[in-house]
Amino acid sequence: MAEKDDNTPKPAEVTPDEFAGLTDDERRKRGRAPDPMLPGESAPKARPPMQVHVAFVLAIVGAVIVVAGQVVVLAFKQQLVDHAVEQLRKSGQKVDVAQLQTNANTLVWAMLIGALCFGALLVLFAWKAREGTRSARSIATLLAVLGIVFELGANRSVFALAASLALVVMLILLYLPKVADYFPKVGKTL
């Protein structure tokens, strides 16, 4: 009779799944990849702290204000062109009104499209940050800082001040010590 080899692999013991019911980001924090979802199943939803939820709402408000400011600029484009023509004539420079109209039209539409893209990206990454994704919080931070710098540097208006205020408060809320645990730092070894 052959003896049983002690080096043979033993079947893995079945233990209760300690990862059941966790969100994808909570699973990543503990070093495990998200489970695949079967058709008809829904992923567990994250429960963000109130500060993170308010920060997400402020990201939406800031994005809407930025876009609204560009829509107002588009609506008053002709007044801006007339003011520019007047300033150029006062300084004694030669003015090509048709070229100035074309340049203003291109600039205003490019700014509106840029504001729409900025708003969409900010809301998208704020949404992902609301779900607890640390890298999304970093990208939302970068976008908010760029938005604040642009709004206060190039576009001084009531809309710029309101949007900048909303974005600053959003940043403060995302980095409060109370919400630090909601954005897990993934370890180097998984």
Q: How confident is the model at residue 59 (pLDDT cuts 50, 70, 90)?
A: very high
> pLDDT (tens digit, 9 = 90+) per residue, 127-184?
999 988 888 999 999 999 999 998 888 777 889 999 999 999 999 999 999 888 888 7
Q: How confident is the model at residue 14 (pLDDT cuts 50, 70, 90)?
A: very low
- Mean pLDDT over 57-84 rounds to 90
3-state secondary structure the chain: CCCCCCCCCCCCCCCCCCCCCCCHHHHHHCCCCCCCCCCCCCCCCCCCCHHHHHHHHHHHHHHHHHHHHHHHHHHCHHHHHHHHHHHHHHCCCCCCHHHHHHHHHHHHHHHHHHHHHHHHHHHHHHHHHHCCCHHHHHHHHHHHHHHHHHHHHHCCCHHHHHHHHHHHHHHHHHCCHHHHHHCCCCCCCC
